[in-house]
Amino acid sequence: MSGSRSNGIRRALDGHRPLTYALRFARTTRLSISVHPDLSVSAIAPLGVDPEAVDERVRRRLPWITRQQLRFEQYHPLPVPRRYVGGETHLYLGRQYRLRIRRGPDSVRLLGSYFWIYCERPTTRRQVKQLLDQWYHWHAPEVFARRLAGLQARAAWIRGVSPAILRLRSMSHRWGSCTPAGHVLLNPELVKAPLSCIDYVLAHELCHLHAMDHSPRFLRLLRALVPQWEQARQRLNTFGR
């Protein structure tokens, strides 16, 4: 890292794990590090402090920074509402598909790069939405159960978790949650996300069955299941926006 004392964007490296943060110098007597609701990180350092010393301090605080980001992440909004009109794109497993709406018996088919939606009133957006939502609800459990099986195959400590514990629950501001009884609740909207993001959310909730906080133990379990979970989390936070 450069030894410049000017404000700017810095990168703190912990092995192969990078963290970008905004550094600002001010008339203060101590260094402060903050994690913001948008998951960004900033630091305010006293005038004259070596930026590389700040990098080292941020590196030591990475476990705390990660826990704070995970806490804020729970409240991130889901993708914006759609209009459900012909030609509009909708997501499934991270890919975009265009709507083709036609008159006919109620049905939804995924063919090529299109969602073909047939309904008696093709100009009624509510009916189009209901049909597409049903399609997602029908396909989500199979996708989630298949991804859970893959996670179970990689980690002995969760092989006793049955796919039967998976439940769908519509949630306004969360992708998933878990209960003290061991039920994993997933938002059906998650089936629109890439598979790596689905694995991350599922692994996140499975790890909470063994560590209810975001402690270092929780993070170790999460990394064992999804080594690239930071990248998956970042992608999930931006996809579909």
pLDDT per position as a tens digit, 79-95: 567 789 999 999 999 99
Per the structure, the count of domains in the chain is 2
The pLDDT of residue 19: 82
Is 229 inside a domain boundary?
A: yes
pLDDT at residue 7, rounded to an integer: 77
Claim to verify: residue 102 and residue 220 sit in the same structural domain: yes
As a whole-number percent, the residues of the chain with pLDDT over 90 amount to 48
pLDDT at 191: 96
Report how far residue 72's alpha carbon sits from residue 64's, in angstroms, rounded to the nearest whole number: 13
Q: Which pLDDT value is given to residue 158? A: 64
**Confidence at residue 105, expressed as pLDDT on a 0 to 100 scale:** 94
Average confidence (pLDDT) over 184-205: 93
- Express each pLDDT in 118-136 by its tens digit: 998 888 899 999 999 999 9
Q: Are 128 and 174 members of one domain?
A: yes
Across 167-193, average pLDDT: 86
**Residue 73 located in a structural domain:** no
Q: Greater confidence, 19 or 55?
A: 55
Say if residue 241's pLDDT is above 60. no
Stronger pLDDT, 24 or 182, i.e. the higher one: 24
Ramachandran angles phi, psi of 43, nearest 5°: -140, 140
Domain boundary among 16, 36, 68: 68
Residues 192, 91 contacting (CB under 8 angstroms): yes
- 116 shares its domain with 217: yes
If asked whether residues 52 and 128 sit together in one domain, one would say no
Examine the pLDDT at 50 and tell me if it is beyond 50. yes
pLDDT band per the 50, 70, 90 thresholds, residue 4? very low
Answer yes or no: are the C-beta atoms of 191 and 92 closer than 8 Å: yes
pLDDT number for residue 17: 64
Residue 39 maps to a domain: yes
Domain carrying residue 231: 89-238
Mean pLDDT within 37-51: 89
Together in a domain, 95 and 168: yes
> What whole-number distance in Å separates Cα of residue 41 and Cα of residue 70?
13
Residues 49, 118, single domain; the answer is no
Query: In the listed set 38, 68, 98, which residue is the last one of a domain according to the structure?
Result: 68
Residue 149 pLDDT class (50, 70, 90 cuts): confident
- Span 97-104, average pLDDT: 94
Q: Which residue has the tokens 């959310």?
A: 201
Please indicate whether residue 111 or residue 63 has the higher confidence score (pLDDT): 111
Cα–Cα nearest to 60, from 114, 14, 126, 120: 14
Higher pLDDT, 50 or 183: 50
Does the structure show a pLDDT above 90 at 23? Answer: yes
Helix/strand/coil (H/E/C) assignment for every residue in the chain: CCCCCCCEEEEEEECCEEEEEEEEEECCCCCEEEECCCCCEEEEEECCCCHHHHHHHHHHCHHHHHHHHHHHHCCCCCCCCCCCCCCCEEEECCEEEEEEEEECCCEEEEECCEEEEEECCCCCHHHHHHHHHHHHHHHHHHHHHHHHHHHHHHCHHHCCCCHHHEEECCCCCCCEEECCCCCEEECHHHHHCCHHHHHHHHHHHHHHCCCCCCCHHHHHHHHHHCCCHHHHHHHHHHCCC
CATH of the domain at 206: 3.30.2010.10
The answer to whether residue 102 is domain-embedded is yes
Say if residue 100 is in the same domain as residue 199: yes
pLDDT of residue 163: 42
User: Could you tell me if 202 and 151 are in contact, meaning their C-beta atoms sit under 8 angstroms apart?
Assistant: yes
